[in-house]
Amino acid sequence: MVNDDSPAFHPDLTRARFMPGTSATRGNRRLLRALTRIGRGRAPKGGELVTLGEGVTVRVHRPAGASATDAGERRPGILYLHGGGLIIGSAVQGDPLCRRLADELGAVAASVDYRKPPEHPYPAPLDDCYAALQWLAAQPDVDPARIAVIGLSAGGGLAASLALLARDRGEFALAGQVLAYPMLDDRTDESAAAHPRMLRLWNGPSNRLGWGMYLGAGTAGPGATTLDAASLEHAVPARRADLTGLAPAWIGVGTLDLFHNEDVEYARRLTEAGVPTELHVIEGAYHGFDASEPTAAVAVDFVQRQVDALRGMLAAR
Would you name the residues annotated as active-site residues? 153, 257, 287
CA separation for the pair 180, 77 (Å, rounded): 18
User: Which ranges of 215-259 does DSSP label H, i.e. alpha helix?
Assistant: 229-235
Q: What letter would DSSP give residue 138?
A: T
Strands (E), 44-113: 48-51, 57-61, 75-81, 108-113
CA distance 172 to 53: 20
- CA 312 from chain centre, in angstroms, equals 19
Q: State phi, psi for 97 to the nearest 5 degrees.
A: -70, -40
Instruction: Report helix angle 154-169 to 124-137, nearest 10.
Output: 70
Q: Are 225 and 208 in contact (CB under 8 A)?
A: no
Judge whether 259 and 183 are in contact, CB under 8 Å: yes
Strands 176-180 vs 108-113: parallel, antiparallel or unpaired: unpaired
Beta bridge partners, 277, equal 249
